[in-house]
Amino acid sequence: MSEVINIIVDGENYEAQEGSLLIDLLIKNKIKVPYFCYHESLGPDGNCRMCMVEIEGQKRPQIACDTFVKEGMEVRSNTQNIKSLRTDILELELINHPVDCPVCDQAGECSLQDFYMDYGLHNSKVTIQDKVKHDKAVDLGSNVMLDQERCVLCARCTRFTDKITGTHELGIIGRGDNAKVSTMPGRKLSNAYAMNVVDLCPVGALTSKDFRFSQRVWFLQTAESVCHGCAKGCNIYIDHNKPKYKDDVMYRFRPRRNDAVNGFFMCDEGRLSYKELQENRQERALLNGEDISQEEAIQKAKETIKKFYGNICIILDANLYTQEIEAIIKFAKTIGTNVCSPQEIYQDEDFKDDMLKSANRAANSKTIEKLHVYTGKPRSDGLIINFNHPGEFSAQSQINFFTHKRNNAGLTLPTATWNESSGTLTNEDGIEQKCEQAIHKNNPVPTVIEYLQRLQS
Ligand code: SF4
Ligand code: SF4
Ligand code: FES
């Protein structure tokens, strides 16, 4: 255990762990410090020089990202000298920058824009015609687009492929004005976590082919949730937008930091899973393929349950929220049956890796285990009530609560997806995590809990 030491920043006292980085203390205490190259997941690189501060006893300003705190250290982060130093460095950064913010997808979440408003606002001595041109819209692979002119050469992306994925697809080639990020000769960016470089890039040099130009970020609302792609349960932000008179639409998932689960990252498959979540939705109640009203469907479900009493099996999806699983178990008791959740279908060894991805493709299997839900095949061929389990089952009669369209006989009731309701999941390591409701549809379909209430009323 390292010792707690005291340091002074801008006249205020702070405590820090001995041997920790000064920049971490500044970030943690929300003391304004501009930086491009430092990232908590990648460590210091010291190349951008934006994070300069004055330290008592040092002749020249020092970079906070590569300075360890020491007992009694006195730091000044906002003197006139430091401010003009930051302005000068920004001016260098912007010499060859195309300043195409109006058409840049990063506008609104760009560090260069933010720092320019804080420290820039200078008149450039370089005209657009004098600037060194580089390639724009280079497809690096894995849904990542590169605009070399916007790059500040912070090397976060190259360090990600070196230190985090170990795949080494990216490097900085050339010298001086001609230095640029590129894929290695004959290679494409190609790894299961490649799109994280888009989040890491502090400017609009790396953008997502999937998201770019689909929305201006200031129109998006954000909900905090958990990816349902596997049992790891990576924490995510769901960015969505509901324009006036139109429906709520998701535009992207982004990783949300949780050091106990996913750190700063998520896999690309999980990131892009928002698409199929909102495609091909089951929106109407069906009886043997024909539309029926919600009221008729509920009535029919009640009659069928009565008819098969004593010969019913309830099957549930291991992606349901804990609250839904508990409510279904309670409901099962009222109709004299048990529940099961066959787990074999969720096993996917090809998906698994040693970074985040789990072979278990269900987000809440741990709760199935904790609540001792039977995980074998259904033990009744009378009536099957399926709460969105992905398996195919045969029985004399079926009531299906489905979120997405599937080939199915019997009665089908359209059901809300996980992002249209809220609840709790327990990941494979036993960590309980909350998911906020992100999407509010104009004509929402009922949630599992709402259906259970209607069936018992
Ligand atoms: S592309 Fe982005 S992350 Fe990579 S070096 Fe340039 S600015 Fe940094
Ligand atoms: S590792 Fe699993 S939980 Fe994490 S983003 Fe990928 S699919 Fe989602
Ligand atoms: S963040 Fe310190 S030099 Fe770049």
Atom of ligand 2 nearest to the CA of 233: 3
Residue 209 Cα to ligand 1 midpoint, Å, equals 16
Q: What angle do CA 447, 451, 456 make, to 5 degrees?
A: 150
Reduced to 3 states, what is the DSSP secondary structure of residue 347?
strand
Phi, psi of 315 (to 5 degrees): -115, 135
* DSSP E strand stretches across 133-232: 138-141, 144-146, 170-173, 180-183, 206-208, 221-226
Q: Of 236 and 243, which is predicted with more confidence?
A: 236
How many other CB atoms are there within 10 angstroms of residue 331's CB atom? 22
Which protein residue's CA is at the shortest distance from atom 2 of ligand 1? 201
316/389 Cα distance (integer angstroms)? 5
Q: What is the mean predicted confidence (pLDDT) over 415-439?
A: 98
Cα 457 to middle of ligand 3, angstroms: 62
Q: Which ligand is nearest to the CA of 173?
A: 1
Ligand 1 neighbours by CB, cut-off 6 Å: 151-157, 181, 200-201, 203, 205-206
- Pick 62 or 124 by higher pLDDT: 62
CA-closest residue to ligand 2 atom 1: 357
- Residue in 182, 178, 184 with CA at minimum distance from that of residue 133: 178
Mean pLDDT score across all residues of the chain: 95
Pocket of ligand 3 (CB under 6 A): 35-38, 46-51, 63, 65
> What is the 353 CA–ligand 2 centroid distance (Å)?
11
Ligand 3 centroid to Cα of residue 37, in Å, is 5
What domains are there in the chain, each with its CATH number?
4-78 (3.10.20.740), 93-208 (3.30.70.20), 222-278 (2.20.25), 285-455 (3.40.50.740)
Distance from the CA of 149 to the center of ligand 3, in angstroms?
Answer: 20
Residue 339 β-bridge partners: 314
Give, for ligand 1, the residue of 37, 97, 111, 206 to mutate: max count of ligand atoms closer than 8 Å to Cβ.
206
Distance CA(355)–CA(193), nearest Å, equals 9
CA of 361 to the centre of ligand 2 (A): 9
Ligand nearest to the CA of 198: 1
Nearest CA to ligand 1 atom 6: 151
Query: Structure pTM?
Result: 0.95
**pLDDT for the residue 125:** 77
Q: Report the amino acid identity of residue 399.
A: I
* Residue 196 CA to ligand 2 centre (angstroms): 13
Q: Which ligand is nearest to the CA of 265?
A: 2
Q: Write the residue with the smallest CA distance to atom 3 of ligand 1.
A: 201
Distance CA 420, CA 48 (A): 42
Q: Which two tokens stand for residue 344?
A: 């074999």
pLDDT digits (tens, 9 = 90+) for 199-224: 999 999 999 999 999 999 999 999 99
Please provide the distance, in angstroms rounded to a whole number, between the alpha carbons at the two ends of the chain.
58
Asked whether residue 7 carries a pLDDT value surpassing 90, the answer given is: yes
Q: How far is the CA of 167 from the centre of ligand 2 (A)?
A: 19
pLDDT(408) > 80 = no
Residue 190 burial class via C-beta count within 10 angstroms: exposed 0-12, middle 13-18, buried 19 and up = middle
What pLDDT is attached to residue 1? 61
Q: What is the pLDDT averaged over residues 91-97?
A: 90
How many Å lie between the centroid of ligand 3 and the Cα of residue 418?
A: 40
* Ligand 2 lining (C-beta closer than 6 Å): 227, 229-230, 232-234, 262, 266-267, 269-270, 356-358
